Amino acid sequence: MGRARDVASAREKPGRGTETATPRGDRGPSRTAWRFAGVTLLLALTAGGTLCAAEEAGPNPGHTAWMLTATALVLFMTIPGLALFYGGLVRSRNVLSVLMQCLGCTALITILWALYGYSLAFDTTGMSKDVVNFNSFLGSFSKVFMNGVKVNSLSNGTVPETVFSMFQLTFAIITPGLIVGAFAERMKFSACLWFLGLWFTLVYLPICHMVWAGDGSFIGGYLGVFDFAGGTVVHINAGVAALVAALVIGKRKGYPQTPMPPHNLTMTVTGACMLWVGWFGFNAGSAVAADGSAGMAMAVTQIATAAATLTWVAIEWVKNGKPSALGSATGAVAGLVAITPASGTCGPMGAIAIGFIAAFCCYLGATVLKRKFGYDDALDAFGVHGVGGFTGAILTGVFASAAMGGQKEGLNIGSQVWHQFLGSAITIGYGVVVSFVILKVLDATFGLRVGEAEEVEGLDLALHEERGYDL
């Protein structure tokens, strides 16, 4: 008791080296309160870390939303974009046949993709960066019938696999669809579906797997080809098949003596504008993320396309005295094609150069080259996509370098151009041989071409018993 009183007395007497007594309500929190707060904070931080980890393990909402949008944009490129672009270029008696071919291609490739296409294109089971084996050239069958593609399965760790697989499906749809332009107005609809289905299986899927599966470059990285959005996979691939198809099936009756102008340029220009808008999904969507890479891909796509359009218009203005709507639409598509492989590596000034050069090359391909060799590439599928795709693939090796305004520091331009050439050459060689075999087998089995009377009547009535326009 005495000790207690001494302590109490000391607290009541300030100025003696002891603390002044303070009423309980005016003091800070007790030690127990501080301990409780510390434990609560620790638990909150732990729970927050767990929630962040769970959030990182799931799909990224921003990336997913962009990829859903990009998927719709690329599908929009085929139906209605490509369908209208091609439909306006043919004669009026064949407009529905072209629309049918594009629509039929969309439906057919969708089913084949779900059955086995996605697995053979993107399943990387068995792939190795150290050894070239079968799975370097074609995927395995573990994802056939979309096996394992579930609500919670992811691609790239951030995007649902359902979305990624559908995005890639839209590329698989438009690529064979491009070939339709070469044999327009003369191929049977049944032969068209057989050819597109077999070509998709035997040509598109292996090239797609070699270029985009694994680390995203040719044959598991052994060639180191830059192809961000489809210079080889889509445009060179479809372009060379288009040339082979035009040669195998032969010229349209009366070509080139009979004039065969487009029947509806309004439709064609509208389709070209749809392609231009949809191409942002094509190129920027190939980043598989809503990030700076997608932003730059969008920027260079717009810039290159504008440069190519103006260049084509200027060429016609100088050569013919007047620019044409058809020329401006074709120039725009040429720019879109050429920037595709470079959209993930070049900069804005490189995009202007690519658009400018591609317009010249594609103009020559669609006019001089076609006249010189006499083949009937009806809608210039090879002249624009084949020539433009090759031009863009080669120029990608130049303008990817940081020294040329691109994104690759220390890139050896000469070496990269050589790699780009090799990748293009492999695509061309493989595509030419297999496309030729498919076409010859189908011609011997079912016949590729409609009869002469049907061709004169027009494929709309002869094959579909419908007219595109009332008489």
What mean pLDDT is predicted for residues 134-140? 86
State pLDDT tens for residues 285-296: 999 999 999 999
Could you tell me if 9 and 18 are in contact, meaning their C-beta atoms sit under 8 angstroms apart? Answer: no
Residue 10 pLDDT level (bands cut at 50, 70, 90): very low
How many Cα atoms sit within 13 Å of 192 on the Cβ side? 28
> Rounded to the nearest 10 degrees, how much is the dihedral formed by the CA atoms of 318, 323, 329, 333?
10
Residue 18 has pLDDT above 80, yes or no: no
> For 302-333, what is each residue's pLDDT tens digit?
999 999 999 999 999 999 999 999 999 999 99
pLDDT, tens only, 249-287: 999 999 999 999 999 999 999 999 999 999 999 999 999
Closest to 363 in 3D by CA, of 319, 399, 393:
319
Residues 128-144 have a mean pLDDT of 83
Question: Residue 207 pLDDT more than 90?
Answer: yes
| Cβ 299 vs Cβ 347: under 8 Å | no
Q: Tell me, what's the pLDDT at 369?
A: 93
Q: Is 9 exposed, middle or buried (0-12, 13-18, 19+ CB in 10 A)?
A: exposed
Distance (Å, whole) CA 453 – CA 387: 34
Backbone angles phi, psi at 242, to 5 degrees: -65, -45
271 phi/psi in degrees, rounded to 5: -65, -40
Query: What pTM was computed for the model?
Result: 0.86
Q: What angle do CA 191, 165, 276 make, to 5 degrees?
A: 70
pLDDT of residue 57: 65
Instruction: Enumerate the domain spans of the chain.
Output: 65-464
pLDDT for res 135: 81
What the block records as the tokens of 417 is: 């151009």
Contact residues for 241 (Cβ-Cβ < 8 A; gap 6+)? 176, 179, 182, 199, 203, 431, 435
H or E, element range at 159: strand 159-160
Q: What is the pLDDT of residue 133?
A: 76
The answer to whether the peptide bond before residue 259 is cis (omega within 30 degrees of 0) is no
Q: Count H helices, E strands: the chain?
A: 21, 2
The DSSP call for residue 347 is -
Is the omega angle on the peptide bond into residue 80 within 30 degrees of 0, that is, cis?
yes
First to last CA, the chain: 120
Calpha distance 120→243 (Å, rounded): 26
Query: Is the pLDDT reported for residue 22 higher than 90?
Result: no
Q: Are 408 and 442 a contacting pair, CB within 8 Å? A: no
Distance separating alpha carbons of residues 146 and 132, to the nearest angstrom: 26
Please choose, from the candidates 365, 428, 361, the residue with its C-alpha nearest in 3D space to the C-alpha of residue 391.
361
* Cα–Cα distance for residue pair 276/335, rounded to 1 Å: 10
- Answer whether residue 376 shows pLDDT above 60: yes
Asked if 398 and 417 count as a contact pair (C-beta separation under 8 A), the reply is: yes
Measured distance CA(35)–CA(226) in Å, rounded: 58
What is the CATH number assigned to the segment(s) 65-464? 1.10.3430.10
Query: What DSSP string describes 400-456?
Result: TBGGGT-SBTT--HHHHHHHHHHHHHHHHHHHHHHHHHHHHHHHHHT-SB--HHHHH
